[in-house]
Chain A
C-alpha cells in the first residue's frame, strides 16, 4: 500500500528534481557560454576593416608585435612552436614516471602504502601553478644553470619539468584505473602459464590496458597545453624559436633556449589592452586556437576511452 504524502512534499520533490536537472546541464551551458563569449570578443578581428591583422600571417608569421607604433604584426607561429615544444618535452618526461607509478599502484602496492601514495599524488595535483612557477625560478633555474652550464635556467627544460610534475598526477590516477579495468583472469592466465610478474605486466597487462593508458597520457597533454602561470614564469617568456641558432642553423641545445607559449602571452598581455582594440581581439583569437587544441585532445581521449568500453 502506498503511503500518503503531504502535498508540499510532492512539490518539493519536483522542485529539487528540477534543480538537480539544471545542475546537470549547467556544464553544457557554461561550455557553450564560454565558446560564445570568446568568439564574440575575438571573432570581429576576422572581418573588421582597417586593422593590420592578416589571417594568413597569423599562423605563419614569427613576428609578434601587437603594440608596435608603426608596424603592428600579429604572427603566433613562435607561440605555437613554444606551446608544442614545452608540452611535448614535458610529456616525454612525465610518461615513464606516470606509467611506472600507475603499474606500481595497481599491481604491487597494497594497504597503507597505497592509501598514502594516492593521497600524496593528489596533493601534488593540488599545488597551485604559481607555486610551481616560483619553484621553477628559485630552485630549478639555478640547478639548470650550474649543471648544464647555460646562461639562463628559465627555458624549455625548466618549464617542461614543471609541467611534467603538474600533469603527472592525473596521468597516474587515470592510468591506474585503466590497469585496474583489465580483468583479473588475464593476470591469472598469464601466471598460470608460468609467466613472471614482469612478463605478465609487460606482455599482458600493458597491451590490454593500452587504450586507457593512452587516454591518461592525452589528458595529461591537455593539462600541459592549457597551463599558464607556471610556464609564464619558467620559460623565460621570450619570442624565440628554440630550434634555430642566431646564424640560422639547427640548434641541438634547443632544450636550453627560452620560448613563449600561447597561454602565457594571453596572461601577460590581456590585462593592459584596451577593450575592443585589435590587440585585445587577437588575444581572444589565440584563446580560440587554444580552445580548439584542447578540445581536439579531450575529444580524442574520450574516443579512446570509449574504445576500451566497447572491447569489454
Chain B
C-alpha cells in the first residue's frame, strides 16, 4: 500500500522525480561520479542551477541534478527519500518535521543558504513609487478594501483604474510567505487574483499589463518591470529591496532560503553545502540577484 502510494505520488508530482529519483545508490556505485539530487523551490531554482554548474567545474567528480517545481515538491521529495537536498523558501511545517522523523529517525538538517527579498512589481508606466505593507494587505486580503489605483493615489496613463492583482498558486512557498508576512497568519487571499504557477510568470504578466501589481522574488527582476519601495506602515520611510536593507532587516518582506537534507546525507553532500556557504557560493548569490548571508 505504502509503496503504491509512493509510486502514484511520484507519477503525479513530477515526471522528473520518476526519471531522476532514487539515483543515489547508483551514483555511489560508480566510483568517480557522485550525484546529488537537488529538488524544490521555484524561487531558488535559477540560483541552485548556477551553483550546480559552478560546483561541477570546481569538483568534476560530483554531478548535481537540479529540478524546480516548488518548495512543496522539494519537501515531498525529502519525505519520500528521492532527493539529497530539498530547496525551500519557507520553514518546514511541524507536521512535515514529524513525517521526516518517522522516516529517518531524526530531524532533517536545515541550512540557511541566503535570503530572498520579495519584491513588489508594477508596470514601468505606473507612477506608483512606494506602497505600505498595510496597503498591500488591504489589496490582497479577503475583506480588504483597496481595489482601484486611485485608492493608492495614482492614475496610470492609458490604463483602467481597476487593479489587476497577480498572485501565486495556493501552495507555493512564496504564497505562504506573503500570506504570513503581509496578510497575517489567519487571513486569506481575496478572490479574483490571477494565480500563476511560477515566479517568472508573475514578472512576465506584470511586464505586459499596465494596471497590474504582483509579488515575486527579487532574483526575477527584469528591465521591463518596476520595483516599488515598501514601507512597514504608511508614513514610515519606504525601503528599496537591496542587499543592505535585507540584511539589516529594514526591508519588511524578505525571507531566508533553506537547504534541507536527510540526517544521513553523505559526505559529498556536506562538502557541497560547505562550498555553497563559503566564499564562492555566496558570491554567486549576489551575482544572481539574491541576497547572500553576509554583506561583503
Contact = CB atoms under 8 A, between A and B. Distances in A.
Interface of A: 37, 41, 62-63, 65-71, 78, 137, 141-142, 145, 151-152, 154, 232, 236-240, 246, 258, 260, 268-276, 279
Interface in B64-109: 69-73, 76, 79, 95-96, 99
B211 to A, nearest CB: 5
B269 interface: no
Contacts of A269: 169-171
B186 A151 contact: no
B44 to A, nearest CB: 15
A270 B192 contact: no
B5 A276 contact: yes
A87 to B, nearest CB: 20
A272 B194 contact: no
A239 B171 contact: no
15 contacts: A65-B170, A65-B188, A70-B186, A145-B208, A145-B209, A151-B160, A151-B209, A151-B210, A269-B171, A272-B169, A272-B171, A273-B72, A274-B76, A274-B79, A279-B171
B70 A272 contact: yes
Contacts of B170: 65-67, 269
Interface of B: 5, 8-9, 12-14, 69-73, 76, 79, 95-96, 99, 147, 159-160, 162, 164, 169-172, 175-176, 179, 185-186, 188, 191-197, 204-205, 208-212
A270 B14 CA distance: 10
B30 to A, nearest CB: 30
Contacts of B99: 274
Contacts of A240: 191-192
B202 to A, nearest CB: 12
A272 B186 contact: no
Nearest to B159: A151
Given A67-B175, A237-B197, A258-B192, 9 more contacts: A67-B176, A70-B185, A137-B204, A141-B208, A151-B160, A154-B205, A258-B194, A271-B73, A274-B72
